[in-house]
């Protein structure tokens, strides 16, 4: 039997496990769990004896393959509890050179555990113990077991756990061990003890170690949520030894990069325990201290060019009164997803078409990649950033019935569409007709025409018909739009002539400048004169700061409202652009945690923004301790500030704003795995290690070069919320911290 477990992150709307010889759509039954018993007869769902989870058949959800049963010898063999799923398989005997996929629904920005079981069980009577086939996660390929599958399971992890799992990185499990369990203990810890249904297996006996346990409940760390039954057992060195050594299990040389997570929890609260960790006799880490009755997880990584087992050493420090302890560990291989994928909107559109018309063909997996498995009738083009666009779709002679789907209009890069020789009826969607000038569109349904070549005259007649049907409504629409623009221009001339006279810079200015002027004239933005600003600032007496385009002055309005006034400097060659950029930002952003625009001044040579005065200083002042607060903002407060600033922000700007980008470049250069190179020195190391990493992880996902992998603002808010909850739960204690001395 083979077991494949993956931790993966999804930034598209569906997940596809491609197995060259596996497409099903499972439905969630509990907590978003999807449990598919491959090869199970239709209408034969059942509950697992141990977990109570519902397992469903895959027959209605797959385009190929056939149901098979393992032989009686294997069905009667003990494989552990809840292994009824191994009694049947789905095989693909006629799918040589093809792929079939299980496509499982996922949520954008979430992480998932994916688990597949493979038990050959001589289902084909061939007694072949060494079959092989290729397996693909999304479009990332690697090798595994045999051309069949017994079970497919999907378990949502949310956003918080396993920070090493990102949009372009998944983890493949080598071993997950409950080391404190006795080798004679056959109890597998999984759901419901483990909320994510991870398998915590009993480990082989560790030489020179002693098993210890407790019945006291242990609080797991939020970031990995190791179940309490696992943390209640541990090993310590035997005798007077102060060192533990254990091994990783066989690693996959093809993956090269490997990842380990060590889980600790101390339930001996009589003396101090401190230790360091090293991988394969390498450099020892900084010291760690285990919190009492609380989980602590330590992560590490290494690279290798050869197969074999790698050792991990946990050694007590000189000041530790107790030997090291270990409760559990996990070892993974990193899978980097660096292959191209189909643009998400194109993928959604073609999947909608597939299900609407019941198209079979070889439409499984990613439509455009790998190249040898591109879907029949589909042609793609590389759009850069490892994104493929569908540019051609030939569905002629595909036995399509019904009306022409509106989903065809969602292909924004489509250049060729052929729907000829099908049984389609009804009208052509208007948006498809509108794009006919950029799309080579073929649509013939007459049986005789499908049997003979289309003559040029027929093509010209159809083109004329299409042209007339498009040009007429477009011409009417153009006349209406032109009439409206003339009316609007006259109205603006009457209402804004005095304003334009006061702003000579607007005459002949580029369109983006006049657009900013429109933003300023929103009703809620008061317009001030330069003389009023002189009065409010006592002739610009109190300078409180410097902006990108000039000085900032303190002012007080006639109703005693305190304001800050940014004046554009005449010496700044780029001041106008920065001024206008800030205008657009402040007029679009409306949030209780962000400063609001009060008004503006724009006359002759005088440009100014008037906005709320921050009487207690700005965020930078708080972070740097400039305002006599007694101390800097701690990490917990900084996370809260970031969360409150991110909530409900809508700015309408492009995903990446052009500019020098020095902050992004700087962060990209220094993020090398050493968190201390990123953390503010003023924090003095007083922060939760994994909390800092999660904020950094969210930041890196927001600035990645690949647009489809960037986090949505909702995902950023969710991750910051979970981080804030983690900080609230930990309070000021050391829970989850990596203590350094």
Q: What are 271-300's pLDDT values in tens digits?
A: 889 999 998 878 788 899 988 999 999 998
Do 303 and 324 reside in the same domain of the chain? Answer: yes
What's the number of CA atoms in the CB half-sphere (13 Å) around residue 179?
26
Q: Predicted confidence band at 111 (pLDDT cuts at 50, 70, 90)? A: confident
User: Which position has the higher pLDDT, 579 or 414?
Assistant: 414
| Contact status, residue 169 vs residue 6, Cβ threshold 8 Å | no
Full domain range(s) for residue 471:
455-502
Closest alpha carbon to 84 in 47, 137, 123: 47
| Contact status, residue 290 vs residue 231, Cβ threshold 8 Å | no
Task: Give the Cα separation of 647 and 632 in Å (integer).
Answer: 24
Helix axes 635-646, 689-702, angle to 10 degrees: 30
User: Which position has the higher pLDDT, 309 or 19?
Assistant: 309
Out of 484, 502, 520, a domain closes at: 502
Q: Token pair 């093509």 is at which residue? A: 459
Q: Would you say residue 492 has pLDDT above 70?
A: no
Lowest mean pLDDT, pick from 54-58, 86-90, 158-162, 704-708: 704-708
Cα distances (Å, whole numbers) of residue 83 to 30, 50, 187: 19, 10, 14
Q: Is 339 helix (H, G, I), strand (E, B) or coil?
A: coil
Q: Token pair 């198209």 is at which residue? A: 359
Q: Would you say residue 363 has pLDDT above 70?
A: yes
- State what percent of residues in the chain have pLDDT above 90: 20
Task: Give the Cα separation of 251 and 258 in Å (integer).
Answer: 8
User: Which position has the higher pLDDT, 685 or 120?
Assistant: 120
Max mean pLDDT among 66-75, 244-253, 414-423 falls in: 414-423
Q: What is the pLDDT of residue 60?
A: 64
Q: Is residue 247 part of a domain?
A: yes
Q: Which residues contact 741 (CB under 8 A, 6 or more apart)?
A: 274, 287, 319
Mean pLDDT over 359-375 rounds to: 86
Q: Is 135 helix (H, G, I), strand (E, B) or coil?
A: strand
| Contact status, residue 346 vs residue 413, Cβ threshold 8 Å | yes
Q: Is residue 444 part of a domain?
A: yes
Q: Predicted confidence band at 230 (pLDDT cuts at 50, 70, 90)? A: very high
Q: Would you say residue 263 has pLDDT above 90?
A: yes
Instruction: Say if residue 370 is preceded by a cis peptide, omega within 30 of 0.
Output: yes
Q: Is residue 617 part of a domain?
A: no
Do 289 and 375 reside in the same domain of the chain? Answer: no
Residue 246 burial (C-beta neighbours within 10 Å; 0-12, 13-18, 19+):
buried
Q: Would you say residue 462 has pLDDT above 90?
A: no
Q: What is the pLDDT of residue 121?
A: 84
User: Which position has the higher pLDDT, 574 or 600?
Assistant: 600
Lowest mean pLDDT, pick from 30-34, 67-71, 382-386: 30-34
Mean pLDDT over 686-696 rounds to: 67
Cα distances (Å, whole numbers) of residue 400 to 176, 358, 436: 49, 8, 21
Q: Is 409 helix (H, G, I), strand (E, B) or coil?
A: helix
Do 134 and 208 reside in the same domain of the chain? Answer: no
Lowest mean pLDDT, pick from 578-582, 685-689, 728-732: 728-732
Lowest mean pLDDT, pick from 7-16, 124-133, 579-588, 716-725: 7-16
Q: Predicted confidence band at 94 (pLDDT cuts at 50, 70, 90)? A: low
Find the CATH number of the domain harbouring 243: 2.60.120.260
| Contact status, residue 188 vs residue 177, Cβ threshold 8 Å | no
Do 74 and 104 reside in the same domain of the chain? Answer: yes
Q: Predicted confidence band at 489 (pLDDT cuts at 50, 70, 90)? A: low
Task: Give the Cα separation of 119 and 386 in Å (integer).
Answer: 36
Mean pLDDT over 197-225 rounds to: 88
Out of 99, 127, 159, a domain closes at: 159
Q: Is residue 703 part of a domain?
A: yes
Question: Which one-letter DSSP state was computed for residue 174?
Answer: E
> Residue 220: enclosing H or E segment and its boundaries?
none
Task: Give the Cα separation of 564 and 544 in Å (integer).
Answer: 8
Q: Is 243 annotated as a binding residue?
A: no
Closest alpha carbon to 26 in 65, 58, 63: 58
Split into its structural domains, the chain has a count of 6
Do 350 and 444 reside in the same domain of the chain? Answer: yes
Max mean pLDDT among 150-154, 446-450, 507-511 falls in: 150-154
Q: Is residue 418 part of a domain?
A: yes
The token duo for 438 is 């950029």
| Contact status, residue 726 vs residue 688, Cβ threshold 8 Å | yes
Do 722 and 642 reside in the same domain of the chain? Answer: yes
Q: Is residue 165 part of a domain?
A: no
Q: Token pair 């004169």 is at which residue? A: 529
Task: Give the Cα separation of 647 and 377 in Å (integer).
Answer: 44
Measured between its terminal Cα atoms, the distance across the chain in Å is: 47
Closest alpha carbon to 353 in 401, 420, 387, 423: 401
Q: Is residue 740 part of a domain?
A: no
Answering whether pTM is above 0.85, one says no
pLDDT averaged over the chain?
74
Mean pLDDT over 446-471 rounds to: 45
Do 154 and 217 reside in the same domain of the chain? Answer: no
User: Which position has the higher pLDDT, 195 or 726?
Assistant: 195
Out of 338, 365, 389, a domain closes at: 338
Q: What is the DSSP string of 682-728?
A: GGTT-S-HHHHHHHHHHHHHHS-SSGGGSPPHHHHHHHHHHHHHHHH
Q: What is the pLDDT of residue 306?
A: 67
Q: What is the pLDDT of residue 448?
A: 44
- Kindly report, residue by residue over 46-59, the tens digit of the pLDDT: 998 888 899 988 87
Mean pLDDT over 520-543 rounds to: 81
Do 83 and 153 reside in the same domain of the chain? Answer: yes
Do 33 and 155 reside in the same domain of the chain? Answer: yes
Q: Is 325 helix (H, G, I), strand (E, B) or coil?
A: coil
Mean pLDDT over 639-668 rounds to: 52
Do 437 and 560 reside in the same domain of the chain? Answer: no
Instruction: Say if residue 192 is preceded by a cis peptide, omega within 30 of 0.
Output: yes
The token duo for 35 is 């449990």
Q: Would you say residue 702 has pLDDT above 50?
A: yes
Q: How many residues does the chain have?
A: 741
Q: Is residue 377 part of a domain?
A: yes
Do 31 and 51 reside in the same domain of the chain? Answer: yes
Lowest mean pLDDT, pick from 183-197, 254-268, 650-664: 650-664
Mean pLDDT over 124-150 rounds to: 63
Closest alpha carbon to 101 in 25, 8, 7, 167: 25
What's the number of CA atoms in the CB half-sphere (13 Å) around residue 205?
6
Q: Would you say residue 392 has pLDDT above 90?
A: yes
- Kindly report, residue by residue over 317-351, the tens digit of the pLDDT: 999 999 999 999 999 988 888 888 899 889 989 98
Do 138 and 32 reside in the same domain of the chain? Answer: yes
CA R_g for the chain? 32
- Kindly report, residue by residue over 172-207, the tens digit of the pLDDT: 888 899 998 876 776 789 999 999 999 998 877 777
């Amino acid at each position: 039997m083979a077991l494949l477990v993956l931790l993966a992150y999804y930034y598209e709307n569906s997940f596809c496990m491609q197995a060259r010889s596996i497409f099903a759509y499972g439905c969630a039954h509990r907590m978003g769990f999807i449990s598919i018993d491959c090869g199970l007869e239709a209408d034969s769902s059942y509950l697992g004896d141990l977990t109570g989870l519902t397992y469903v058949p895959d027959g209605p959800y797959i385009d190929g393959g056939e149901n098979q049963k393992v032989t009686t010898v294997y069905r009667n063999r003990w494989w552990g509890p809840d292994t009824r799923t191994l009694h049947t398989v789905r095989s693909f005997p006629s799918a040589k050179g093809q792929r079939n996929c299980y496509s499982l629904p996922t949520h954008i920005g979430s992480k998932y555990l994916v688990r597949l079981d493979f038990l050959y069980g001589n289902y084909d009577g061939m007694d072949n113990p060494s079959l092989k086939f290729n397996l693909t996660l999304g479009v990332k390929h690697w090798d595994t077991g045999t051309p069949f599958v017994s079970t497919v399971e999907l378990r949502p992890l949310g956003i918080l756990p396993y920070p090493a799992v990102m949009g372009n990185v998944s983890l493949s499990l080598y071993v997950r061990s409950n080391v404190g369990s006795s080798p004679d203990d056959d109890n597998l810890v999984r759901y419901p003890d483990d909320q994510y249904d991870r398998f915590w297996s009993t480990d082989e006996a560790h030489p020179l170690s002693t098993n210890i346990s407790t019945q006291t409940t242990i609080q797991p760390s939020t970031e990995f949520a190791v179940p309490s039954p696992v943390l209640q057992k541990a090993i310590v060195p035997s005798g007077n030894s102060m060192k533990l050594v254990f091994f990783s299990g066989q690693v996959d040389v093809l993956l090269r990069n490997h990842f380990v997570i060590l889980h600790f929890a101390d339930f001996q609260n009589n003396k101090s325990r401190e230790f360091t960790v090293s991988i394969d006799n390498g450099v020892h880490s900084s010291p760690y201290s285990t919190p009492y009755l609380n989980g602590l997880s330590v992560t590490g990584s290494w690279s290798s060019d050869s197969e074999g087992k790698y050792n991990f050493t946990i050694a007590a420090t000189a000041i530790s009164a107790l030997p090291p302890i270990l409760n559990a560990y996990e070892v993974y291989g990193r899978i980097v997803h660096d292959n191209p994928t189909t643009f998400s909107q194109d993928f959604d559109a073609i999947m909608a078409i597939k299900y609407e018309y019941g198209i079979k063909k070889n439409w499984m997996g990613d439509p455009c990649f790998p190249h040898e498995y591109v879907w029949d009738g589909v042609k793609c083009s590389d759009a850069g950033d490892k994104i493929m666009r569908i540019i051609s779709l030939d569905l002629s002679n595909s036995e399509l019935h019904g009306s022409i789907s509106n989903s065809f209009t969602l292909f924004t890069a489509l250049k060729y569409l052929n729907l000829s020789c099908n049984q389609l009826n009804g009208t052509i969607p208007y948006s498809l007709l509108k794009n006919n000038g950029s799309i080579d569109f073929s649509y013939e349904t007459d049986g005789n025409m499908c049997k003979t070549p289309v003559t040029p005259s027929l093509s010209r007649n159809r083109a004329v018909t299409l042209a007339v049907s498009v040009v007429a409504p477009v011409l009417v629409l153009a006349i209406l739009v032109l009439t409206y623009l003339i009316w609007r221009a006259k109205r603006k001339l009457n209402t804004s002539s005095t304003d334009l006279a006061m702003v000579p810079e607007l005459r002949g200015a580029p369109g983006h400048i006049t657009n900013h002027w429109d933003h300023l004239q929103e009703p809620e933005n008061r317009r001030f004169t330069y003389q009023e600003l002189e009065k409010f600032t006592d002739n610009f007496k109190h300078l409180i700061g410097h902006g990108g385009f000039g000085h900032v002055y303190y002012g007080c309005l006639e109703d005693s409202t305190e304001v800050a006034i940014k004046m554009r400097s005449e010496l700044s060659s780029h001041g106008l652009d920065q001024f206008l950029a800030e205008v657009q930002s402040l007029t679009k952003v409306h949030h209780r945690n962000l400063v609001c625009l009060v008004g503006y001044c724009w006359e002759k040579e005088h440009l100014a923004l008037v906005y709320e005065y921050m009487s207690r200083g700005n965020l930078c002042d708080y972070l740097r301790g400039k305002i006599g607060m007694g101390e800097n903002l701690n990490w917990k407060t900084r996370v809260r500030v970031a969360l409150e600033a991110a909530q409900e922000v809508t700015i309408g700007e492009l995903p990446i704003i052009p500019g020098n980008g020095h902050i992004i470049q700087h962060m990209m250069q220094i993020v090398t795995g050493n968190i201390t190179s990123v953390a503010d020195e003023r924090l003095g190391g007083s922060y939760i290690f994994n909390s800092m990493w999660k904020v950094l992880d969210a930041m890196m996902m927001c600035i990645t070069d690949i647009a489809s992998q960037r986090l949505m603002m909702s995902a950023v808010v969710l991750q910051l919320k979970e981080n804030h909850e983690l900080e609230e739960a930990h309070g000021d204690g050391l829970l989850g911290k990596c203590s350094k001395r």
